[in-house]
Structure 1
């Protein structure tokens, strides 16, 4: 289902989440977690797992520790998980999601500065983007290891806007997760949600942002309704 506000869209910059939005990594990460659980004779609790999507390392630990309780030693689970995940994402190009390259190219042609705001640590984020061939589109990155508070707190989006030298209100933000959308809305950005593994919950839908199926739909809407403004920089 698509929820769209048919209004003129005014912006100076675009800020993108990475995993599940630009890159089809969430299923890889979920399968690695599932395999790690089974290797440790733990249940795979899908509802708990979906609650970590969009969060940084500290947030992930908090959610999993609370969800699994005394069933896990988190450090052991994380090691088993990353032992399965990192060999893939550090060495293989993860496919980009539908419409990504076309949208990035169009924004580049319009001279719109772009940044990535991802909960992934900086070095790994750069590796993923480089292997997938889309790193050159982005002028700046803000990453989970660079902020005190992870998504759903707005800090990571505010940092990205600051690095682009554009006021948050004049930034388009693109997210897949409910945690990420909450962060971008709290930063007062103009938000598109393109759901991946997580279906927007009622509380997220009530935030009033745009929800569409893919970034190629975003591209079509921006071509029709865009109004690129100047000024209002930091």
Structure 2
């Protein structure tokens, strides 16, 4: 059952920006000297989690001879090189600009830190992200006690809208299984745009699954349709 919504929350990595691919490159660059591989199965478990949690899991699972803190330091060096040239995912710009033009309240709910966000957005994407005025950074915001799949980030993000919508009035856009679980736990509907390698059985909790944001029809959720 799809219900009309009034507010929209976007994840960022892998949904609006191609940064999930860049995380894979960054982590593999750190792991290669140790003969380790950042597999898609491991990535799938960690997509949407906070940076500390990601670092702990990778160090533990791959038995790396470094602490999670050292892994984060090495990661940041990689991110500084890779993230500034991130690119928008297909359909992201059109959808955000359309909803903005129609006056739909929008927010960003990303597990990234604020520092990481600025690395990704500053060089090429400030204009489009300025249309998402309510931003929540899961790895920086003290109010987000637990990362996805816990609902904290979406509850905090929704609370930033001045008119305080109910959870069922909010539509979340996500690419990660953990993100979908978090949105559902928050009582929100969720459109999932998964990596094509994600098994279909892992997408069943989503309200709607799409191959790309390009395929989204706003009117399905009672939002103003595209005019072209």
Q: Aligning the two structures, in what range does the TM-score lie when normalised by the shorter sequence? A: 0.7 to 0.9
Cα deviations across residues 99-152 of structure 1 (Å, max 9, x unaligned)?
001101111122101100001012331442343232211121111121111111
Matches within 5 A, 1:162-201: 162-164=159-161, 165-196=164-195, 199-200=198-199
Shift of 1:193: 0.4
Name the CA distance, whole Å, in 2 between partners of 1:208 and 1:180. Answer: 10
Separation (CA, whole Å) in 2 of partners of 1:154 and 1:11:
18
| Residue of 76, 81, 87 corresponding to 1:87 | 81
Does the CA contact (< 8 Å) of 1:11 and 1:170 recur in 2? yes
Relative distance call for 1:116 and 1:139 in structure 2 (3 A) is same
1:137 and 2:136 are equivalent in the alignment: no
Deviation at 1:63, TM superposition (A): 2.1
Q: What is the CA deviation profile of residues 31-56 of structure 1, one whole-angstrom value per residue up to 9, with x for unaligned ones?
A: 111111113x2311402233211110
Instruction: Kindly report the root-mean-square deviation, in angstroms, between the aligned alpha carbons of the 2 structures.
Output: 2.2
Partners of 1:177 and 1:198 within 8 A in 2 = no
Shift in alpha-carbon separation, 1:94–1:45, aligned structure 2, 3 A:
closer
- Structure 1, unmatched stretches of 5+, are 230-234
Q: 2:212 maps to which residue?
A: 214
Runs in 1 of length 4+ with deviation above 6 angstroms? none
Higher relative contact order (CA 8 A, sep 6+): 1
TM-score (norm 1): 0.83
Q: Kindly indicate whether residue 157 of structure 2 is the aligned counterpart of residue 160 of structure 1.
A: yes
Mark the runs of 5 or more structure 2 residues left unpaired by the alignment: none
Match of 2:62 among 52, 63, 68: 68
Q: Deviations over 1:162-206 (max 9, x none)?
A: 10122211011000010111101111111000013761562x333
Q: Structure 1 113/168 Cα, relative in aligned 2: closer, same or farther at 3 Å? A: same
Instruction: Pick which of 67-76 and 17-26 moved more.
Output: 67-76
Corresponding residue of 1:227: 222
Is contact 1:177–1:200 with CA below 8 Å preserved after alignment? no
